[in-house]
């Protein structure tokens, strides 16, 4: 195995080691994937101002995220089917995040359950909630998140219906995978994945299995899940969830200032500017291009985070320069997980930390708290009046 020096190296290795349907689940978007591509390209358009002959010693990356100490302004985003990238994936990712001193967010659609992840770490993690039609199940899920000590609830707002993801449809994505001749042939080339998966009991949706009515097998579980996303979800539901949860609430999936205003009014303590990694509405604006208008709308009434297209510590720094409190990564840590398990997630975080640290120095700063648009070249970064919006 060659030396891992960047996130792209982890992606290439993950593609070799993860079964096609699960790799494609991560590394694809909706429809033509134009938003998926633009998320990353929008960051690349933003240029830094390099400063020289300044004191670069003693740099400081630590911060607070949702009132908690973090070693740097980074969080691991909620990602479904994480345990299908590598056996016990959620547990491994949570452990790596804890060791690195950054928050981990567990998805409702995780393979390992809330309780199983909590038993594997000593630090509190965040929990991401999909609101489903079965409100009794949602009530129970919130109670379970409280019981294991989750310190923030992340409510995803942009998945009331599922975007059309061509790769998943063509691959016949299922959990666990249906063993067709094509799938078996692919898995025979992914022996590491198969060996690890044979040693774990976690092969279905851990937060759902055993906690819903009339689910006697995997087929009925899959049907229940597919039927449960609630297209009638409204801001009134958000207010109810905020009251029911009673703790810090993060709303993820905001792209427009009007929706950011609604989120704050409904009780959001933080907002994640996100287009779901280009997996929902193809043709939506890139997350970083949407950010300035939302920052202007919300001001300091809520912490602002960003998700989508981040592939380096430089992208994290670009986000901070535009006013983000921190950045969420999804695909990068999943590449690491698929490539090398827990070690790969740790490597992903380490790469981003080093890139963030070195770029901060090149921009002439020593403290992450001092970052603003002065480190960016005028005309290269999006603004509220940018015509590309």
Cα 117 from Cα 111, distance rounded (Å): 10
What is the tally of structural domains in the chain?
A: 1
CATH number at residue 231: 3.20.20.70
Catalytic residues: 276
Is residue 381 assigned to a domain?
no
pLDDT of 72: 98
Is residue 266 assigned to a domain?
yes
Residue 126 sits in which domain range? 7-375
pLDDT of 389: 42
pLDDT of 160: 82
pLDDT of 215: 55
State pTM to two decimals. 0.95
Is residue 24 assigned to a domain?
yes
With both helix axes pointing from N to C terminus, report the angle between 313-321 and 331-362 in degrees, rounded to the nearest 10: 70
pLDDT of 220: 56
Cα 261 from Cα 303, distance rounded (Å): 13
Residue ranges in the chain whose pLDDT is less than 70: 1, 213-223, 226, 387-389
Residues 6+ apart with CB under 8 A from 135: none
Is residue 267 assigned to a domain?
yes
Is residue 385 assigned to a domain?
no
Is residue 275 assigned to a domain?
yes
pLDDT of 176: 75
Is residue 388 assigned to a domain?
no
Residue 326 per-residue DSSP state: E
């Amino acid at each position: 195995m060659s030396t891992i020096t960047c996130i792209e190296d982890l992606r290439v290795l993950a593609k070799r080691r993860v079964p096609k349907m699960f790799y494609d689940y991560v590394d694809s978007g909706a429809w033509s994937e134009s938003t998926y591509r633009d998320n990353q390209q929008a960051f690349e358009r933003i240029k830094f101002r390099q400063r020289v002959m300044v004191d670069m010693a003693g740099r400081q990356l630590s911060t607070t995220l949702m009132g908690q100490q973090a070693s740097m302004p980074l969080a691991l985003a909620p990602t479904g089917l994480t345990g299908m990238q590598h056996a016990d994936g959620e547990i491994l990712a949570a452990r790596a995040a804890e060791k690195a001193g950054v928050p981990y967010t567990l998805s409702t659609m995780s393979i390992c359950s809330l309780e199983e992840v909590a038993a594997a770490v000593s630090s509190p993690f965040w929990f991401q909630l999909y609101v489903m039609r079965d409100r009794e199940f949602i009530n129970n899920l919130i109670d379970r998140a409280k019981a294991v000590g989750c310190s923030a609830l992340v409510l995803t707002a942009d998945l009331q219906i599922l975007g059309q993801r061509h790769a998943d449809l063509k691959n016949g994505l299922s959990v666990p995978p249906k063993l067709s001749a094509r799938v078996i042939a692919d898995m025979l080339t992914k022996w590491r994945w198969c060996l690890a998966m044979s040693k774990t009991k976690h092969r279905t949706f851990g937060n759902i299995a055993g906690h819903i009515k009339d689910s006697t097998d995997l087929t009925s579980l899959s049907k229940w899940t597919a039927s449960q996303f609630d297209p009638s979800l409204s801001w009134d539901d958000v207010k109810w969830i905020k009251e029911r949860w009673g703790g810090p609430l993060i709303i993820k999936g905001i792209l427009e200032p009007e929706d950011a205003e609604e989120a704050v009014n409904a009780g959001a303590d933080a907002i994640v500017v996100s287009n779901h990694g280009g997996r929902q509405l193809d043709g939506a604006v890139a997350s970083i291009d949407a950010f300035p208008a939302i920052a202007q709308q919300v001001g300091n009434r809520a912490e602002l985070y960003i998700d989508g297209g981040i592939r380096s510590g430089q992208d994290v720094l670009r986000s901070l320069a535009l006013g983000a409190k921190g950045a969420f990564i999804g695909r990068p840590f999943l590449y690491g997980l698929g490539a090398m398990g827990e070690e790969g997630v740790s490597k992903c975080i380490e790469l981003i930390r080093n890139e963030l640290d070195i770029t901060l120095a090149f921009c002439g700063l020593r403290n992450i708290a001092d970052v603003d648009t002065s480190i960016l070249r005028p005309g290269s970064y999006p603004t509220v009046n940018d015509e590309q919006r």
